[in-house]
Structure 1
Amino acid sequence: MEDPEKQSLAPLWLLIFLQAGISASSLVVEIVAGRMIAPYVGMSLYTWTSIIAVVLAGFSVGHWWGGRIAGYETGRALRITGWTMIAAACATAGATLLLRALAGPVIETLLHPLAAITALSMLAFFLPSVFAGVPAPVLTVAAMRGRDRSERALGAMFAAGAIGAIVGTLAAGFLFVPWMGSVATLLVIAAIYAMAALTLFWLGGATSREMTISLGGIAAVCLIGIGAFSLPSVCDRESSYYCIRTVAMSDDPNDPVNLMVVDHLAHGISNRNTPRVMFTEHAAMLDALPRMRMERTDFTSFHIGGGSYSVPRAWADRGITGITIAEIDPEVTAVAAEHFWFDRDTATILHNDARRALRGSTGKFDVIVGDAFTDIAVPEHLVTLEFLDLVADRLEPGGVFAMNLIDNVDRLDALSAVIVTLREVFASVEVWTVASAPVTGERRVFVLLASDQDSPVSAIETAAPDRTRFQPLDPGFIDNILHRKTAQILTDDHAPLTHLMGLDRVVD
């Protein structure tokens, strides 16, 4: 008589398809997790580290649980796994609701950023990962059980899981999030999990009663999904790179002032009627210091990062031409033109990574402005010795490089590292900041000017938006800091700028 296990074998191709589909979906959720958490705690190495750790922990628990389920008779194991897929669909669809409801209280309670990031990742994405991790061992055992050459089935299932993970990662970054946004992507994944559940019930020989109950579970998924989709979006625009919001700062419709928020960080403020007025210290210095050094308006400039385009807009209003801007995200440029009154025709805009754009430029510039920020720090590949060599090579004789940096006045580790790296390339490195005494624990804005000669003035005053005085730090004071810090030169091989910035900030 033929073995009953062989009579009830599920089609191997279908098990492979399920394995690949569930694996792909779980990786989509992992990628989307980073995008969804970014508006609350930013996007940094620490964010991705926490998300990956939480998701892998969830998969591990799910695999262990699935291994126990796989010990049952095949039909029963598949039916139980179907219920875990219903749970995965509910948890995935509800992640948006949980994140929206809990982000504020978690951030207010856990002031240390790593704790807040890890807690949010755990609360929103641990359970979806646990439930999504269950099917892999169950499907693998089902594929091997009762088959000749079961080793081949084992290899096929492992390969399907790996290929699915690759496809899911690529699909999330290149298709789902850019085309649909984060919330809609999670709902699509919830729907895929629900379809996987129905398939598992069918393969496991579920009774009509079990199928009816499962439809009730799918109805719950739909209700949760409707609730998540009906929430107002956190982002005005969600691009391939950022969550972008425009916040009105003025109640006067005749004198509008807008703030651009990229992920959770304020990137710039502009007034429609006064383009030359800067509203932040870093923008005021980046506007005024290069103009002071050039002492003319017929100079060319290359801007690393666009943001609200406040400085290029102000320079264009002064009649300065020859402006080139490298902004990696086209949506940021679109928002700047629509809500921050930037005229695209006044500049050459390169939607590319600034380092790649600068390397590809054939001309030289009188001024290069570094105004790129990701989460709490300048992108690390834009402060290394190799990049600064490129900057120096692209400057005209007598040209100047100006970049902003934020650091804690009690440590100044990041500032020290950037200074010693700049000094390897430039003869003169000045550190400008607001002319006021530091306060313990203050995170202060600095602008570093690097060139082949010192500035002709020892202070400037400009609107930020009130009249504000800025001056360079005394060279002896800087040398003393560098001596105490034994600062390291930042290179492409090792540039731990985010680590040097410290983690003492409160997450906004």
Structure 2
Amino acid sequence: MISKQRVALILLLEGLASSGVQMVTIRQTVAFVGSSVLCTSIIISCFLAALALGYYQGGKTAPEKFTRALLVNLIVAIGLFGIGLSYPFVSWYFLTVADMTAGIPGLRNPLIHLLSFCVVIMGPLVFLLGQTVPLLLNTADQNTRKSEAAGSATALSTIGNVVGCLLTSLVLMYFLGVGYSIVINCAILAICAVLVISPERSPLNSALLGVAAISLAITFVANVRIPGQLFAATTPYSDIHIAQDTEGKRLIINRSSASYIGRENREGWPYIEMMKQAIFSDDVTGKHILVLGAGGFTLSAEMTGGARFTYLDIDPKLKSVVEEDFLEETIQGDFVAQDARAYLLTNKRLWDVIVVDLYTNAATIPMHTATFEFFSLVSERLLPDGKAILNIAANPRLTDQYSLTMDNTVRRAFSRCVTDITGYRDGLENLVYLCGKPSSKDPVAGLYRDDTTRVTVDGYLSALNGTTRQD
């Protein structure tokens, strides 16, 4: 029989690792499905469903078999956690499912892929760990009321959940990276397995511990060695990779080519060059430019023209990686590691130019930075003659609900918006919005009609002011 002290420790450690499963799943799938409330809700719902099934199944296990069942569950959980949630496996899974479902309406939706991953990998893992509490209730003293024993066991496991959420996301991922977070959580489960085994070890128990040791070794290779060769850095927010091209380098964040810089001309992506042209078309000497979404810090890599750049990104490690491996020089400007909306809410400073280029992967904008309220906040932080420059990945033909609504949202929040596009195919393209701050002095737009000469007169006056296109 397992001692009460061991039982308490197992419950705490199992709860800690269970929460780690949620945090790691959310983090590892960002590169393939993005970060949104929809993705998080799918992961949490599957987690809770698997946990409930685990409680149910654990309660049905015969009392005399609880030790063996618990040990087997922990050993299998180590393998599922360490291998199933490793980046190499997650990448293989999502890319394979995407290829298999390509062209199949409904099934090709990334959210369906995420749901299948939760059912196939995360669900069984949580199901096994969820059995821990009811299985360990078999160790309760016969004189202890069942309700009291169940309450105490659940409380200990829940305390472990709380600690696990904070430890994995705020400490392990932040300081050690995702790979080591997985290794440490798997090691915690291995400790639980050791605590389950009685001093009189049987050959089978020894064999199971050997399997756990092998699983830990594979976990280390899959989560530390391989990602260490694939990425320049893995952070709580991103997998960062530098890809060498024939004429330059690409900064890849969460499988998305976030930035590009030429080796000789130091130019960036076409949409970045559009933004540069918009920024430097006027005299920017002494002007303050805020860039929300630092990317590769390329807006000021080529020139600053006397402008003062402040880059903001939520990932504090991005700056050092870019300086060492991408730009290979100190960035031109200041860097602030903070959430974009939180920064604008707490910092009342007004800017000459605000650039918005915020993405969690190739096409997903964080929900709280893609609404009318956010864009209105950006507008409020502009000087009266300031301008906002936005990069929005949408369909330039505005044939889908998202692209049409996003276009309307931007134009409602600002005034005098014009759009430059990198292509006109029926798919996602970079749409660069150049917008001004709304003012009561803005002219009211009307209509030119056949029965007046206003179009000729206004056009002539515009030409005199030098605002027409010069060929």
Cα distance, 1:337 vs structure 2: 1.5
Alignment partner, residue 108 of structure 1? 99
**2:414 alignment partner AA:** F
Alignment partner, residue 148 of structure 1? 144
- 1:368 pairs with 2:354: yes
Equivalent of 1:126 in 109, 123, 126: 123
Inter-CA distance 422–38: structure 2 relative to 1 (3 Å threshold):
closer
Query: Secondary structure at 2:58's aligned position in 1?
Result: helix
Cα distance, 1:28 vs structure 2: 0.7
- 1:268 pairs with 2:268: no
Cα distance, 1:344 vs structure 2: 4.0
Equivalent of 1:358 in 312, 320, 344: 344
Cα distance, 1:385 vs structure 2: 3.4
1:239-293 deviations in Å (ceiling 9; x for gaps)? 122111111112xxxxx51111111211110123212x2323x21222212333x
Distance 1:333 1:77 in 2: 51
1:306-355 deviations in Å (ceiling 9; x for gaps)? 01111122342xx2322122122122111221233275463122111222
Cα distance, 1:442 vs structure 2: 1.8
Structure 2: runs of 5 or more not aligned: 103-107, 440-444, 448-471
Query: Secondary structure at 1:176's aligned position in 2?
Result: helix
Inter-CA distance 60–224: structure 2 relative to 1 (3 Å threshold):
farther
Distance 1:297 1:303 in 2: 17
Distance 1:158 1:427 in 2: 56
**1:347 alignment partner AA:** G
Alignment partner, residue 303 of structure 1? 291
Alignment partner, residue 464 of structure 2? none
Task: Determine if contact 2:301/2:331 at 8 Å carries over to the other structure.
Answer: no
Q: With structure 1 as the length reference, what TM-score do the two structures score? A: 0.76
Alignment partner, residue 59 of structure 1? 51
**1:135 alignment partner AA:** T
Distance 1:339 1:258 in 2: 10
Alignment partner, residue 72 of structure 1? 63
Cα distance, 1:297 vs structure 2: 4.6
Alignment partner, residue 427 of structure 2? 442
Alignment partner, residue 21 of structure 1? 13
1:144-200 deviations in Å (ceiling 9; x for gaps)? x51334433222112112111111111110112223322332222222222212222
Counting only pairs closer than 5 Å after superposition, residues 238-253 of structure 1 correspond to structure 2 as 238-250=234-246
Alignment partner, residue 381 of structure 1? 368
Inter-CA distance 361–195: structure 2 relative to 1 (3 Å threshold):
closer
1:384-412 deviations in Å (ceiling 9; x for gaps)? 33333332332222111111111133534
Distance 2:211 2:265 in 1: 57
Equivalent of 2:393 in 386, 394, 406: 406
Query: Secondary structure at 1:314's aligned position in 2?
Result: coil
Query: How many residues get paired?
Result: 430
Task: Determine if contact 1:178/1:238 at 8 Å carries over to the other structure.
Answer: no
Query: Secondary structure at 1:346's aligned position in 2?
Result: coil
Inter-CA distance 296–44: structure 2 relative to 1 (3 Å threshold):
same
Cα distance, 1:101 vs structure 2: 4.4
Task: Determine if contact 1:302/1:367 at 8 Å carries over to the other structure.
Answer: yes
Alignment partner, residue 280 of structure 2? 291
Inter-CA distance 296–153: structure 2 relative to 1 (3 Å threshold):
closer
Task: Determine if contact 2:232/2:321 at 8 Å carries over to the other structure.
Answer: no
Alignment partner, residue 214 of structure 1? 208
Distance 2:328 2:297 in 1: 7
Inter-CA distance 305–259: structure 2 relative to 1 (3 Å threshold):
same
Task: Determine if contact 2:34/2:364 at 8 Å carries over to the other structure.
Answer: no
Alignment partner, residue 258 of structure 1? 249
Distance 2:190 2:132 in 1: 13
**1:221 alignment partner AA:** S
Cα distance, 1:416 vs structure 2: 3.5
Query: Secondary structure at 1:138's aligned position in 2?
Result: helix
- 1:327 pairs with 2:313: yes
- 1:90 pairs with 2:90: no
Inter-CA distance 285–453: structure 2 relative to 1 (3 Å threshold):
farther
Query: Secondary structure at 1:330's aligned position in 2?
Result: coil
Distance 2:211 2:446 in 1: 68
Inter-CA distance 402–106: structure 2 relative to 1 (3 Å threshold):
same
Cα distance, 1:226 vs structure 2: 5.2
Inter-CA distance 183–110: structure 2 relative to 1 (3 Å threshold):
farther
Structural RMSD (CA): 2.9
Equivalent of 2:180 in 167, 172, 184: 184
Distance 2:201 2:302 in 1: 71
Task: Determine if contact 1:98/1:123 at 8 Å carries over to the other structure.
Answer: no
Cα distance, 1:359 vs structure 2: 3.6
Inter-CA distance 425–407: structure 2 relative to 1 (3 Å threshold):
closer
Equivalent of 2:269 in 273, 276, 279: 279
Equivalent of 1:341 in 305, 319, 327: 327
Task: Determine if contact 2:242/2:252 at 8 Å carries over to the other structure.
Answer: yes
Task: Determine if contact 2:35/2:366 at 8 Å carries over to the other structure.
Answer: no
Task: Determine if contact 2:35/2:364 at 8 Å carries over to the other structure.
Answer: no
Alignment partner, residue 198 of structure 1? 194
Alignment partner, residue 463 of structure 2? none
Distance 1:363 1:107 in 2: 45
